[in-house]
A and B are shown apart, each in its own frame.
Chain A
Amino acid sequence: MRYKVKCVCDSFNPRKCLSFPLFLHTVRTAEPLEYHRSYLKENCRHDGRELSEFRTTTLNIGSISTADGSALVKLGNTTVICGIKAELANPTVEAPGKGYIVPNVDLPPLCSSRFRPGPPGEQAQAASQFIADVIESSEVIQTEDLCIDRGKLCWVLYCDLMCLDYDGNLLDACIIALLAALKNTKLPEVTINTETCSPEVNLEKRRELHVHKHPVGASFCIFDNSILIVDPMSEEESLCTAHLTVVTDEEERLCAVHKPGGTSLSGEKLQECITRAATRQREIQKLIDKVINSVKAAQ
């Protein structure tokens, strides 16, 4: 760390500065872009990470006992909690053999000063839609599995994702939280009473949800139209010129390549991102499996 700070000093000529910490702070608030650039020039980032390095990812599952499945994910400072509640509903006429998955991402004013109270803003809405798309594209859960009685009764999985601390890279954290929470979800047993035609639920007897695929995302930022960095923090996100999120599953199939505009990217650069995303997928799947198994072992 000390060495990296030195690099910055050289480019800024610190001798003219009175006090070193004050100098750094001023540069960061007055010229945030220059501040970041000076680090990127040295192939590192202001928090000491490499360009293609993720922050520490911590996963905690089953922490909310009122939810049917839950997970808390920390990606550096970014914290996302996912709670899954299952409810019963009638399937639609168009898809009588399918259940529902309803994911929603919320960015409450609690998680950062940039979000205001009230209905979800554009970022939260876009994130909700992205998560919904990932669920559909990756087939992480097949909605057929949620059917209880064809045309009559099915499960609705309300996947409520809430950000508790916003420090960039919301989408990656959301996908991990969702996946871990789904793997943690246990649905109660339902039988249809043949006489009254009404469902009976045995809350004690629960079975696990079948998770078909393990999609994991990796988000990138493009700085100055050329430099790719992985897992951006919120400061980096607001300064960069483009965002990219690649979601892959365990078979190295792509479930989403989401780039909502920004500066252009060549196919070659995109390939680099996909490679990094594949590595990340293995890393996270291993983490989730290990944590899930640790809970099972403890029981």
Chain B
Amino acid sequence: MKDTPLSNCERDFLLKAIEEKKRLDGRQTYDYRKMKITFGTDFGCCFVDLGKTRVMAQVSSELVTPKESRPNEGIMFFNIELSPMASPAFEQGRQSELSVKLNRQLERCLRNSKCIDTESLCVVSGEKVWQIRVDVHMLNHDGNLMDAASIAAITALCHFRRPDVGIQGDEVTVFSPEERDPIPLSIYHMPISVSFAFFQQGTYLLVDPCEREERVMDGLLMIAMNKHREICSIQSSGGIMLLKEQVMRCSKIASIKVSEITELISKALENDKKARKAGERCGFAESMPQERITALKMDETPVEMTDVTEKANDIVHNADAPPQMVPSPVVPIPGVGQVGQGVQSTWGLEEDDEGEEEENDNSGEEQDEKVTRMEEEKLESREGDVVEISDSEEEEVVILNPEKVSKNTGYTSHHKGAAATQKRKRK
């Protein structure tokens, strides 16, 4: 499905508004949209709402063999899935330019900046390490997917607990959460990406562009930073030409935004921890807004079971009893059988590869075998209701045995003779 195109007047309107330092949703140039971080029932499941943009991240772990070049390091794998739910323009299973760009940027932001201690993920050096997989699903695309994805991914990583393992000799046991408390990952710092959109060849700049603004922008600059003001990655994209001063200005804005967002994440994580400790229910049922008119909830309800048994018995008893007699199958030669009657199939009974059976058994009684087979054929033709008599199989089958063509013409047009003939020759 194609995305709805942006009309020219819409484009002009948006650019005009940007020139006048106005944004569609009433924000200021450097404002972020309202951000909400929620957690799922599982460890390592996190939702981020950035305005209307919604992203889910889920972290999972698996024991795998490490890469040969790094035998005592765990493996990090990131995957951003541009689900067609987020936008009609996204297609499933296709590596679009956008998905490559986002995936690489996330990898650079979280893996290359070494924010996670991969060495602590090693279980047995060179044999078993944890592979941490981060799946980020885009649920609703309203611009600035990268920032939402990076926030969701790092928050989910902070929230995640991997199962504890025990090593005894060369046996590795994975403990379930009931046996031993799962362990959090050790995280050095939290890189967060901040995006800047440039308009009119870099004259105007906006933070956190929404989908409409992204459509009219010339280029994008993504800066990932942590709260220690360390830059973890910079990436410019789109055909814009930047000046050094612009980059410097963006990096300053980014550092402020990052410290704000980091605080928000920490607060959200703490709240969730408290709620879990208190034994409160967490997850989707809780996160559903009750006050909205579009939402409704129903408590646990019993199901009527009064006449279920009777109803079932009625149906079963009222049904006709199956006939006890079934037609007997016909086995014309060993390895082939037929049952039922009906239409003529284009694959006649005789055409294919029954030769193998005969070749496999080396009983050496070809003569007898042949006789029995002939008998069976006769039998078959007597049972008129089973065999299709319309086509004579002799006519259908052609066999070549070049050696015997001249000498043994009696066989040449009969396939079944072939194997036997051949075997006789072998003998």
Interface status of A284 (Cβ within 8 A of chain B): yes
Query: Is B322 in contact with A275, judged by CB distance below 8 angstroms?
Result: yes
Closest residue of chain B to A231, judged by CB? B342
Q: For the complex, what is the distance from the CA of A19 to the CA of B409, rounded to whole Å?
A: 46
19 additional contacts (CB under 8 A) given A55-B340, A287-B337: A48-B343, A49-B343, A53-B340, A54-B342, A58-B347, A59-B337, A61-B335, A63-B335, A63-B356, A72-B352, A74-B345, A268-B318, A283-B339, A283-B340, A294-B333, A294-B334, A294-B337, A298-B363, A298-B369
Residue A279 CB within 8 A of the other chain: yes
- Are B331 and A291 in contact, CB atoms less than 8 angstroms apart? yes
Residues of the B chain whose Cβ atoms lie less than 8 Å from the Cβ of A192 = none
Whether B326 sits at the interface, judged by CB under 8 Å, is: yes
Which single member of A60, A79, A268, A283 contacts B354 (CB below 8 Å)?
A: A60
A76-B343, A295-B357 known; A57-B338 Cβ under 8 A: yes
Residue pair B327, A77 in contact (C-beta under 8 Å): no
Which residue of B is nearest A60, CB measured?
Answer: B336
Nearest CB to that of B353 among chain A residues? A63
For the complex, is B349 an interface residue (Cβ under 8 Å from A)? yes
Interface membership of A18, Cβ < 8 A: no
The contact string, 1 if C-beta is below 8 Å from chain A, for chain B 342-381, is 1101110100111011111101000001000000000000
Residue from the list A56, A72, A271 in contact with B340, Cβ < 8 A = A56
Partner of A65, one of B311, B340, B360: B360
Q: A277's closest neighbor in chain B, by CB?
A: B322
Minimum C-beta distance from B353 to chain A (A): 4
A10 within 8 A of partner (CB): no
C-alpha gap A166/B322 in the complex (Å): 30
With both chains docked as a complex, state the minimum distance between the C-beta of A205 and any C-beta of chain B, in angstroms: 16
Within 8 A of B (CB), among A176-223: none
Smallest distance from the beta carbon of B391 to chain A beta carbons, Å? 13
A62 in contact (CB, < 8 A): yes
A72: which B residues are within 8 A, CB to CB? 352-353
In the assembled complex, 26 residue pairs joining A and B whose CB atoms fall closer than 8 Å, in A order, are A54-B340, A54-B342, A57-B339, A58-B338, A60-B335, A60-B336, A60-B337, A62-B356, A65-B356, A74-B345, A76-B345, A79-B347, A93-B63, A267-B312, A268-B319, A271-B319, A274-B319, A276-B322, A283-B329, A283-B339, A286-B329, A287-B337, A290-B329, A295-B334, A297-B334, A298-B358
Tell me, yes or no, whether A299 is within 8 Å of chain B by CB. Answer: yes
Q: Chain B nearest CB: distance from A85 CB in Å?
A: 17
How long is the Cα–Cα vector from A267 to B319 in the complex, in angstroms? 10
A271 to B319, CA, bound (A): 6
| 7 smallest beta-carbon distances between A and B, as pairs | A298-B334, A291-B337, A287-B329, A271-B319, A294-B334, A47-B343, A63-B353
Q: Which residue of B lies closest to A151 (CB)?
A: B171
Total B residues in contact with A, Cβ cutoff 8 Å: 44
Question: B167 an interface residue at 8 Å Cβ cutoff?
Answer: no
Interface size band for A: 35 or more
B372, chain A: closest CB distance, angstroms = 9
Q: Are B353 and A60 in contact (CB under 8 A)?
A: yes
Taking the nearest CB of chain A, how far is it from the CB of B335, in angstroms? 5
Residues of chain A at the chain B interface (Cβ within 8 Å):
47-49, 53-65, 72, 74, 76-77, 79, 93, 165, 267-268, 271-272, 274-276, 278-279, 282-284, 286-288, 290-291, 294-295, 297-299
- Complex Cα spacing A61 to B359, Å: 13
B323 CB–A CB distance under 8 Å: yes
Please tell me if the beta carbons of A282 and B326 are within 8 angstroms of each other in the complex: yes
Which residues on A sit within 8 Å (CB–CB) of B248? none
Q: Which residues of B contact A48 (CB under 8 A)?
A: 342-343
* Residue interface mask B126-161, A partner, CB < 8 A = 1: 000000000000000000000000000000000000
Q: Shortest Cβ distance from B357 into chain A, in angstroms?
A: 6
Contact at A287–B319, with CB atoms within 8 Å?
Answer: no
Contact, CB under 8 Å: B329 / A291: yes
In the complex, chain A residues whose CB is within 8 Å of the CB of B331 = 290-291, 294
Cβ of A55 and Cβ of B337 under 8 Å apart? no
| B316 and A62 contacting across the interface, CB-CB below 8 Å | no
Contact partner of A298 (CB less than 8 A), chosen from B335, B341, B346, B347, is B335
| Chain A neighbourhood of B352, CB < 8 A | 60, 63, 72
Known A54-B340, A76-B345, A267-B315; judge A283-B326 contact (CB<8 A). Answer: yes
Give complex CA distance A276, B352 in Å: 31
- A70 and chain B: residue at smallest CB distance: B356
Q: Which of B42-74 contact A (CB under 8 A)?
A: 63
Q: How far is the CA of A297 from the CA of B337 in the complex (A)?
A: 14
Cα distance A62–B342 in the bound complex, in angstroms? 25
Q: Which residues of B contact A63 (CB under 8 A)?
A: 335, 352-354, 356-357
B residues within 8 A CB of A65? 356, 359-360
Chain B residues in 8 Å Cβ range of A49: 342-343
B320 near A: Cβ within 8 Å? yes
A93 to B127, CA, bound (A): 14
Across-interface contacts of A55 in B (CB, < 8 A) = 340, 342-343, 345
Q: Cβ of B316 and Cβ of A271 under 8 Å apart? A: yes
On chain B, the residues within 8 Å of A74 by CB distance are 345, 347
Of chain A, the residue at the smallest CB distance from B349 is A58
CB of A296 to closest CB in B, whole Å? 9
